[in-house]
Amino acid sequence: SRVSCDCDVITVHWTGLFHGDIRTQEQSLVFVKRMMALATSSITYLRGIFPEGAYCSRYLEDLSVKILKEDSSCEGARKIVKW
């Protein structure tokens, strides 16, 4: 499943997004996909690869993170999200 956001500011807890008790292959796949989405979005944001409008804000507890939007007007950002 893809990680996406709708630009409303959403606050989640680490344990809700990244379960500490991974027992199945499906849970492992979800964990890896979420980590990849977070890492890719963070790197592209910090390097200024896509415009600000291609991201939405999420909060992981007290940490503000930018996540690439699935419905972005930026074609490159949409390609990465669909990947």
Helix axes 75-82, 25-46, angle to 10 degrees: 160
Which residues are registered as beta bridge partners of 72? none
8 Å CB contact between 69 and 44: no
DSSP string over 6-73: -SS-EEE-HHHHS-S---SHHHHHHHHHHHHHHHHHHHHHHTT-S-GGGEEEEEETTEEEEEE-TT-S
Whole-angstrom distance, CA of residue 74 vs CA of residue 44: 13
Instruction: Render pLDDT for 8-64 as a digit per residue (tens, 0 to 9).
Output: 555 555 555 666 678 889 888 888 888 899 999 999 999 999 999 999 888 887 888
- pTM of this structure: 0.72
